[in-house]
Amino acid sequence: MRRTNSLRAAAATTVAAALVAGLAACGGAQVVTQQTSLAPIHIGAIYNLTGSQAPLDGPSLDGARLAIDRINAAGGLLGRRVELLERDGQTDPAVDRYDAENLAALKVAAIVGLSDTDQVLAAAPVAARAGIPFVTSGATSPLLPTQVPDWLFLACFGDNVQAAAGAEYAADWLGARTAAILFDKDMDYTRLLQRYFGQSFAAQGGTVVLRAGFHSGELDIAKLLAAPGGQGSGAGDDRSSTPLKAQLLFVAAGPDDAATLVRKLRAGGYRQPIMGGDSYDNAKLIAAARETGGGVYFTTHAAFGLTHSTLAMRKFTAWYLSAYGRPPENAFAGLGFDAVNLVAEAIERAQSADPGKVRDALLETRGFEGVTGTLSYTGASLVPRKAVTVIEVGRRAELTAQITPDFVPAP
């Protein structure tokens, strides 16, 4: 998924040309045509460009690259050019850990990236021990900042918030009063998401009639739903009821398995609405949902290129299209863009690229206007409270709601 140097140069030239014509209208910054002789500021970026996380991390890295191109076209930071030091985590925690060690040794100002909790937990502690802030663009566990205290920041909402928004939509928009939950037992993301959804759905007056776990890649629907019953609607499996009795299927799966599960459920005769989280925000899932009759809903961070997108989202879509010749593949492209700009703003406010000073400036972030929403870190929380976008996939993907949920379960 990496581009050649010639393509990178062409993309940077395209972005710079667009900025010369339009930056004043987008923030008032003046374009600097000459780079200074000062050493560049380095920001590390770890993304999984291969493996199961690539559908999320590839677009996120392109968003991060776009942010760097725009920053440099506008004169850089503190009079210095900014360089993104990219590493491929290969969807392997051991590689993520090695990449973080490598970037820490290079004394980067900060590290951004990764869209999965397990991957972040491999890399972020390494950065923290080296005194380097880590901004995850897309990992949504609200527990992360307590697991890596003081040095780990989320550019995205937490799973408890998106699950609560999904439950509110299921109850209020879809009229669901019963739900069956299927979830991947091997991922921290899916385990947390299904738990938060169950709690939030109960708070909306709904009942979870079945809860069944599966292992990543083991997607035999008949086998999954045939085992004997278990723990009711608690943390364990409960197959004492059939999902045919449920008005909604909530399926918490990684991006690699989500499309396959939708196809298998529809082939098995399940016609209820299917709902999932932001891992559904990828081309394979959307194609699977369209080709099997629609009725699939998911929560995500932004709706680029869709009707009712915000002005910031529409601008980002135009910038991305100009740079890469295609619109943003999903919301993770915007999150990568926001993560880099969040770090850049902290460097400007700190007037330093020293990692400790950048961390201190990040802690003081209030009202950061990103393309995926407004972001603040307040009190002891380094998880921003942002509105949740709900996408419906029928004949096409459409933005159907933006929700700031009333009830949010504790992390």
Q: Which domains does the chain have, with CATH numbers?
A: 5-157+308-377 (3.40.50.2300), 159-300+389-403 (3.40.50.2300)
- Top-confidence residue, 311 or 179: 179
* Strands, sheet with 178-184, edge to edge from the N-terminal-most edge strand: 207-214, 178-184, 248-252, 274-276, 296-300, 388-393, 397-403
Structural element, H or E, at residue 315: helix 311-324
pLDDT at 375: 93
pLDDT at 8: 36
pLDDT at 226: 62
pLDDT at 22: 38
- Top-confidence residue, 4 or 71: 71
159 CB-side CA count, 13 A? 26
Instruction: Please report where in the chains the tokens 């499309």 appear, as a residue.
Output: 259
Task: Inform me whether the pLDDT recorded for 32 exceeds 90.
Answer: no
The token duo for 96 is: 């993520």
pLDDT at 64: 98
Task: Taking the CA atoms of 84, 90, 91 and 92 in sequence, report the sign of the dihedral they define.
Answer: negative
pLDDT at 110: 98
Q: What is the 8-class DSSP label of residue 278?
A: G
Q: Give rounded-to-5 percent helix, strand, coil for the chain.
A: 45, 20, 40
- Top-confidence residue, 254 or 216: 254
Environment class of 207 (CB within 10 Å of its CB; exposed 0-12, middle 13-18, buried 19+): middle
Which residue from 173, 182, 175 is spatially nearest to 209, judged by alpha carbons? 182
Max CA separation in the chain (angstroms): 69
Q: How many CB atoms lie within 10 A of CB 48?
A: 28
Task: Inform me whether the pLDDT recorded for 235 exceeds 70.
Answer: no
The pLDDT mean for the chain works out to 87
Structural element, H or E, at residue 57: helix 54-73
Task: Inform me whether the pLDDT recorded for 209 exceeds 70.
Answer: yes
- Top-confidence residue, 269 or 197: 197
- Taking the model in full, what pTM does it have? 0.84
> What is the pLDDT confidence band of residue 111, given thresholds at 50, 70 and 90?
very high
Task: Inform me whether the pLDDT recorded for 191 exceeds 70.
Answer: yes
Name the percent of the chain lying above pLDDT 70.
85
pLDDT, mean of residues 198-225? 88
pLDDT, mean of residues 156-160? 97
Specify the amino acid at residue 217.
G
pLDDT digits (tens, 9 = 90+) for 329-339: 999 999 999 99
Contact 95, 29 (CB under 8 A): no
pLDDT, mean of residues 151-155? 97
Contact 89, 35 (CB under 8 A): no
Task: Inform me whether the pLDDT recorded for 309 exceeds 90.
Answer: no
Task: Inform me whether the pLDDT recorded for 365 exceeds 90.
Answer: yes
pLDDT at 242: 58
State the Rg of the chain over Cα: 21
Task: Inform me whether the pLDDT recorded for 354 exceeds 80.
Answer: yes
pLDDT at 243: 60
Cβ contacts of residue 290 below 8 Å, gap of 6+? 393, 394, 395, 396
- Top-confidence residue, 227 or 72: 72
pLDDT at 115: 95
Task: Inform me whether the pLDDT recorded for 19 exceeds 70.
Answer: no
pLDDT at 228: 41
Instruction: Please report where in the chains the tokens 């002005």 appear, as a residue.
Output: 311
- ∠ Cα 193 198 202 (to 5°): 145
